Amino acid sequence: MTEQQENTAKARTGLNKLATHALTEALRRIYVSALNELQAHEHSVESYLQFSRVAAEARAKLFSGGDALTAATTRLLAAALATHDQAVTEPAADVQAGVLLVRVANGRFIATNNAEGPATFRTNVGKAAAAVASLERLCGPRQARRT
C-alpha cells in the first residue's frame, strides 16, 4: 500500500468515526459529504494513474517504432548512396529528413504539449509521405521498398 493510500484509509476511518458520533445531523452530513469527496478523489487518482500507465506504454512503443523507422531510413539512404546516382540519393535523403522531422515534431509535442503539436506532426508526416512517394515514382514501389 502506498503512503497516499494509507493516508486516504486513515482519513476515511476518521471521517467514518466522526460521522457515526456526530453531535448533530448537520455535522453528520458534512462528514458524509467529505467521505463522498474523498471517494471521488480516490477514483480520480486511480484514473490518473491508469492513464499514466497507458501513456507510458504508448510512449515506449512510439519511441521503439521511431527508432526502427530511423534505422530503416538510414539503411535506405545508405543503399541510395551506394548507387552513386544523385537522382536516387536526393529523394532518399528527403525521405530520411522527412522522417527525422516527424520524430522532432513528435518529441516537441511530447515535451511541451503544445496545442499546435498534432498539426505540425501531421504536416511533417505528409511531407515524409510525399518524399516516399517521390522515391517510389523514381525507383518503382518494389525497388524503393527493398532499399
Range of the domain at 94: 3-146
What is the average pLDDT across 59-71?
88
What is the average pLDDT across 96-103?
92
More confident residue, 25 or 62: 25
> Total structural domains in the chain?
1
Residue-level pLDDT at 111: 86
Residue-level pLDDT at 106: 87
* Residue among 49, 102, 95 at smallest CA distance from 74: 95
Average pLDDT, the chain: 89
142 has a pLDDT exceeding 60: no
Q: What is the pTM of this model?
A: 0.62
